A and B are shown apart, each in its own frame.
Chain A
Amino acid sequence: MESIVRNDLHPAFSMRGITKMFGTVLANDSVDFEVLPGEIHALLGENGSGKSTLMNVLSGIYRPDDGQIEVYGELKEFRSPGDAIDSGIGMIHQHYKLAEAMTATENIVAGMKKPPKNSGKKDDVLRTDILRYASRSPAKTQQKIIEFSSRFGIEFDPSIPAGQLSVSQKQSVEIIKVLLRGASILILDEPTAVLTPQEAKKLFSVLRKMAAQGCAIVFISHKLNEIMALCDRVTVLRKGQSIETCTVSEIDAYDLVEKMVGRKINLSINKPDPDPERRVCLDVKGLTYSDSKSVPKLDNLSFTTYYGEILGVAGLAGGGQKELCESIAGIIRPQQGDILVDNERIAGLSPRDITQKGVAMCFIPEDRLGMGLVASMGIEENILLKEYALTKGPLIRMKDATTKAEQIINELEIKTPGLKHPVRMLSGGNIQKVILGREIHLNPKLMIAAYAVRGLDIHSSYTIYNLLNEQKQKNVSVLYIGEDLDVLIDLCDRIMVLCQGKNMGIVDASSTTKEEIGQMMSGTTLEELKRGVSYV
């Protein structure tokens, strides 16, 4: 990609010597960071290295203990996110905060400020217009918003309630929202963690258009291929310190990882052979489920998993993966079909009975914290969540949980100041390791890992792949639901492709290709592929 970095420009913003402490945790340690207008600049670092903190400082949410911020050459001191947005800095957080019942338009207009007269910014007229129409003519407001969005190639229907938008559309709404408040510096904190690869591609083209129009963009991601494809420069953080800023075209992914972790690490998945006995663990027969609005989610789905094997599940977002997991774990009740583990029926049992039958699930929802963890409790009490029910008597056993928590913290290298430290204060990746560690420690027969590496840094992702492989070698049957096709192919033994709740076929990972899986994901069955028929 052509580089648009020009050195004669003033930086859009520059942060110097930023230091931020949380209690005893040094989240940012004298960090320097600057981004030029028209540049897409990646911020890379392991989980807990202080990326979000740094950006929260820039967007006025936290105040730094030390250091200074200059925006377009002017020294600034932000006391609230409002101050930052007035200086043109807008942040898109990983968890969107839209009023679900209000339409996209209402969400965008709410909180918009009238631009100061003669501020000279180019979209002032448009913003004044939108505000003027807002109360009187929703249709005209929407028209204006659509016009504005199309400039960046963003498409969504501004008249529907935000609650009904898909994750990627919500993200678009958030982007438009900050742009319309006059942001010319845009911070995106892991915007692609919850997007499908297709949606991510769309987002990239939007970001490129914005950069071409002079916006400065900070892009946080753990996916190196995205950084290589999208960004101009990259700044690496390690343990709260800024290590280096490099031009992307002059560096390769391996160097980046080394800078990030501080030493060479092995980034290959070492795939052990599956158990040749092929004993059936999970047997799903004709599973059919429609949600409360009678939208079909699972359609006559049948498959089996074997002990000592990893079965991958690929599919577009909303293809029934979540419902499949929840049916197996007993959280929802499919209308038809049967689920057997070791030839024993588990369909219809309570989630707890299913856990007792040896089924563990690690499902990382889009908002990470929403399910599976209790935000204000510490790690040990979160470890208890699944286990407390398995012990006898009416009392909880804190001692066991404490020992286990310590063990999990060591094994998965979870960064926390203490066992009782509320998990909501951990960094995103560390939060996730807590869930995974807990489920693995249940010693299950069947381990469901859904989106287990969502938001994890590369190093931790590989730790998790290795953990899953260890489970496989212990003869656990692993069901891995993922989005990254490369990883699915490298990690799994077989891959099942879902499309609208149907099983499109199960392919052998050693002989399949990404293209084949891609075609199946969009609705061609394996048999049709073999016969040479294709609808796409």
Chain B
Amino acid sequence: MFRITKKESFTKAEAIIYRLFGFSVGIIFSGIIIAALGYPVFKTFISLAEGSFGSSIAIRNTISFLIPLSVTALGLSIAFKMRYWNIGGEGQILMGATAAMGVSMVLPSGMPGPLMMLSMLVAGFIGGSIWALIPGFFRINMKTNETLFTLMMNYLAICFVQYLYFELWRDPAKKGFPGIQDIPFRARIPYVSGISLAILAPLIIVLVVYFLIKKTKLGYEIRVVGESEPTAHYAGMNVKKIMFVGVMLSGGIVGVAGAVKLMGSTGTLSSSLGGGAGFTAIVIAWLANLSAPMIVLVSFLIAALEQGAQFIQVRMGVPAAVADIVKGLILMSVLGSEFMLRYKILFGVHTASKKLEERASVDPTMQDSDPESEVVEDSI
């Protein structure tokens, strides 16, 4: 029998040690697998690192992965702080990109580039927030389940973009092939010494979100609403309005991620533009414990892994499945260390960690429910 208890606190040093340890365990395990499959272990890892940071192209690719992931996760984290389960990131990315695409098609082509880009970003924000507010409206006013609703909105968005792709916005210049025209060249985000200026998006948004949550009244309200709606109500907060604004911001920022992706990398709209970022971002947001700066860090790690895994397929001829295993193992171990950091597992009576404080215990085999034991999400 064992039980899992939440730790009272941990020091910064502990945090770093645990995470490094988790990372090393992941490397060791994936090393064993790579060796077992007959690939040179050391060289594979070197290539993995090379693939993510080894050359300017690699870095550029890692960054271009990082941008949509982090911006989306930052957007979602606002909703998650309100305990509003916005699972609709993928759809909001697509609709943000769609709105930006639409704007680029109607704006006069002679318009100055920066102005055009700004209008597209604003359109992206609006597109994403409208898509988030549809389920939001029903949740706020009729208490529907937002998890399911936002999830379904993803598929609706994919279908809608497909319709645009094959029918409404089909580009006649493509001679019968389906597809939407490219955005005008001047609307594409420029590169400065090899680095896309799109990197500014997460850098600015992380500051905005951090500031919003920590320093503004709205952010404070969002945190209170997430903790307890009755309390917010008692304090005289307009819970509906706060939720509305929160969902709007959340969807809007995710929409901006879509617009940035359109303007910074794909250049045209298709239903695969999101590329699953809307889902990966959910993991990132929680892994980062909904802290804005951490979100950028975690996104970076995941983007690097992703990039490196692709590279070893090409360079070492490692099959895609193995690359995925390596990626998965490292991620799992880091996740695991995060868990070990926040909780501890007790086996016998004499645990080495007796000094560490436990405050509430959860025993999976226990039928009794006692009020002191909490499996609360980490305080945010």
- Asked if B367 is at the interface of the complex by the 8 Å CB criterion, the answer is yes
- Checking B9, B233, B238, B346 against A79 with a beta-carbon cut-off of 8 angstroms, the contacting residue is B346
- A395-B370 contact in complex given A79-B346, A373-B231, C-beta closer than 8 Å: no
A385 with B218: CB separation less than 8 A:
no
Interface hits, B311-352 → A, CB 8 Å:
346, 349
17 A/B residue pairs, CB under 8 Å, sorted by A: A23-B9, A61-B373, A62-B359, A79-B1, A80-B3, A81-B370, A82-B366, A82-B367, A97-B370, A351-B233, A352-B237, A371-B233, A374-B231, A376-B380, A377-B223, A395-B216, A422-B379
B220 with A384: CB separation less than 8 A:
yes
- Asked if A504 is at the interface of the complex by the 8 Å CB criterion, the answer is no
**Residue of chain B at shortest CB distance from A356:** B236
Interface hits, A217-270 → B, CB 8 Å:
none
- Asked if B177 is at the interface of the complex by the 8 Å CB criterion, the answer is no
- Asked if B215 is at the interface of the complex by the 8 Å CB criterion, the answer is yes
B371 with A97: CB separation less than 8 A:
yes
A472 to chain B, nearest CB (A): 25
> How many Å lie between the Cα of A19 and that of B373 in the bound state?
20
Known: A80-B3, A395-B215. 19 other contacts (CB 8 A): A22-B357, A61-B372, A62-B358, A63-B358, A79-B3, A81-B370, A93-B370, A93-B372, A96-B371, A111-B368, A331-B233, A351-B234, A354-B236, A363-B234, A371-B230, A372-B231, A375-B227, A385-B235, A396-B220
**A331: which B residues are within 8 A, CB to CB?**
233-234
A388 with B373: CB separation less than 8 A:
no
- Checking A56, A85, A350 against B368 with a beta-carbon cut-off of 8 angstroms, the contacting residue is A85
- Asked if A95 is at the interface of the complex by the 8 Å CB criterion, the answer is yes
B2 to chain A, nearest CB (A): 9
A385 with B224: CB separation less than 8 A:
yes
- Asked if A70 is at the interface of the complex by the 8 Å CB criterion, the answer is no
Q: How many of B's residues come within 8 Å of A, CB to CB?
A: 43
B82 to chain A, nearest CB (A): 13
B370 with A61: CB separation less than 8 A:
yes
**A181: which B residues are within 8 A, CB to CB?**
368
A514 to chain B, nearest CB (A): 33
Interface hits, A338-390 → B, CB 8 Å:
350-352, 354-355, 363, 370-377, 381, 384-386, 388-389
**B3: which A residues are within 8 A, CB to CB?**
79-80
- A113-B367 contact in complex given A61-B360, A80-B361, C-beta closer than 8 Å: yes
- A355-B230 contact in complex given A56-B372, A385-B224, C-beta closer than 8 Å: no
- Per-position binary interface string of chain B over residues 90-113, scored 1 when its CB falls under 8 Å from any chain A CB and 0 otherwise: 000000000000000000000000
- A396-B216 contact in complex given A23-B9, A61-B373, A422-B379, C-beta closer than 8 Å: yes
**Residue of chain B at shortest CB distance from A65:** B354
B224 with A374: CB separation less than 8 A:
yes
- Asked if B143 is at the interface of the complex by the 8 Å CB criterion, the answer is no
- A374-B227 contact in complex given A23-B9, A79-B346, A388-B220, C-beta closer than 8 Å: yes
- Asked if B228 is at the interface of the complex by the 8 Å CB criterion, the answer is yes
Q: How many of A's residues come within 8 Å of B, CB to CB?
A: 52
B263 to chain A, nearest CB (A): 29
- Asked if A4 is at the interface of the complex by the 8 Å CB criterion, the answer is no
- Asked if B369 is at the interface of the complex by the 8 Å CB criterion, the answer is yes
- Asked if A394 is at the interface of the complex by the 8 Å CB criterion, the answer is yes
A61 with B361: CB separation less than 8 A:
yes
- Checking B8, B354, B372, B379 against A376 with a beta-carbon cut-off of 8 angstroms, the contacting residue is B379
**B354: which A residues are within 8 A, CB to CB?**
65
- A111-B363 contact in complex given A21-B357, A422-B379, C-beta closer than 8 Å: no
> How many Å lie between the Cα of A79 and that of B218 in the bound state?
44
A461 to chain B, nearest CB (A): 23
- Asked if A77 is at the interface of the complex by the 8 Å CB criterion, the answer is yes
- Asked if B175 is at the interface of the complex by the 8 Å CB criterion, the answer is no
B366 with A81: CB separation less than 8 A:
yes
Q: Which residues of A contact B (CB under 8 A)?
A: 21-23, 56, 59, 61-63, 65, 77, 79-82, 85, 91, 93, 95-97, 110-113, 181, 330-331, 350-352, 354-355, 363, 370-377, 381, 384-386, 388-389, 394-396, 422, 425
- Checking A21, A82, A351, A388 against B365 with a beta-carbon cut-off of 8 angstroms, the contacting residue is A82
- Checking A65, A91, A371, A381 against B234 with a beta-carbon cut-off of 8 angstroms, the contacting residue is A371
> How many Å lie between the Cα of A410 and that of B174 in the bound state?
75
Q: Which residues of B contact A (CB under 8 A)?
A: 1, 3, 8-9, 215-220, 223-224, 227-228, 230-231, 233-238, 346, 349, 354, 357-361, 363, 365-373, 376, 379-380
**A82: which B residues are within 8 A, CB to CB?**
363, 365-368
B352 to chain A, nearest CB (A): 14
> How many Å lie between the Cα of A88 and that of B360 in the bound state?
21
B372 with A388: CB separation less than 8 A:
no
A375 with B371: CB separation less than 8 A:
no
**B8: which A residues are within 8 A, CB to CB?**
22-23
B369 with A97: CB separation less than 8 A:
yes
**A388: which B residues are within 8 A, CB to CB?**
217, 220
Kindly name the residue among A21, A330, A371, A374 whose own CB sees the greatest number of chain B CB atoms within 10 A: A374
B363 with A80: CB separation less than 8 A:
yes
**A363: which B residues are within 8 A, CB to CB?**
234
**B233: which A residues are within 8 A, CB to CB?**
331, 351, 371
B192 to chain A, nearest CB (A): 33
A370 with B357: CB separation less than 8 A:
no
A366 to chain B, nearest CB (A): 13
A386 to chain B, nearest CB (A): 6
B368 to chain A, nearest CB (A): 5
**B365: which A residues are within 8 A, CB to CB?**
82
**A425: which B residues are within 8 A, CB to CB?**
359
B228 with A374: CB separation less than 8 A:
yes
- Checking B218, B223, B357, B361 against A23 with a beta-carbon cut-off of 8 angstroms, the contacting residue is B357
> How many Å lie between the Cα of A363 and that of B361 in the bound state?
31
B155 to chain A, nearest CB (A): 32
> How many Å lie between the Cα of A173 and that of B12 in the bound state?
45
A389 with B217: CB separation less than 8 A:
yes
- Checking A79, A96, A395 against B349 with a beta-carbon cut-off of 8 angstroms, the contacting residue is A79
A386 with B215: CB separation less than 8 A:
no
**Residue of chain B at shortest CB distance from A181:** B368
8 closest Cβ pairs, A-B complex:
A111-B367, A351-B236, A352-B236, A376-B379, A80-B363, A82-B366, A371-B234, A385-B235
> How many Å lie between the Cα of A396 and that of B223 in the bound state?
13
B259 to chain A, nearest CB (A): 25
B342 to chain A, nearest CB (A): 14
B367 with A110: CB separation less than 8 A:
yes
> How many Å lie between the Cα of A372 and that of B236 in the bound state?
10
B231 with A22: CB separation less than 8 A:
no
> How many Å lie between the Cα of A376 and that of B224 in the bound state?
10
> How many Å lie between the Cα of A422 and that of B378 in the bound state?
12
A394 with B234: CB separation less than 8 A:
no
**B373: which A residues are within 8 A, CB to CB?**
61, 81
> How many Å lie between the Cα of A79 and that of B348 in the bound state?
9
A97 to chain B, nearest CB (A): 5
B215 with A396: CB separation less than 8 A:
yes
- Checking B219, B223, B346, B363 against A81 with a beta-carbon cut-off of 8 angstroms, the contacting residue is B363
> How many Å lie between the Cα of A363 and that of B235 in the bound state?
12
**Residue of chain A at shortest CB distance from B221:** A388
**B370: which A residues are within 8 A, CB to CB?**
59, 61, 81, 91, 93, 97
> How many Å lie between the Cα of A330 and that of B236 in the bound state?
9
**B346: which A residues are within 8 A, CB to CB?**
79
A396 with B217: CB separation less than 8 A:
yes
A95 with B371: CB separation less than 8 A:
yes
B114 to chain A, nearest CB (A): 27
> How many Å lie between the Cα of A422 and that of B367 in the bound state?
29
> How many Å lie between the Cα of A91 and that of B376 in the bound state?
22
**B216: which A residues are within 8 A, CB to CB?**
394-396
A479 to chain B, nearest CB (A): 17
> How many Å lie between the Cα of A354 and that of B219 in the bound state?
23
**B231: which A residues are within 8 A, CB to CB?**
370-374, 385
B330 to chain A, nearest CB (A): 31
**Residue of chain A at shortest CB distance from B372:** A61
**A384: which B residues are within 8 A, CB to CB?**
220
> How many Å lie between the Cα of A350 and that of B238 in the bound state?
9
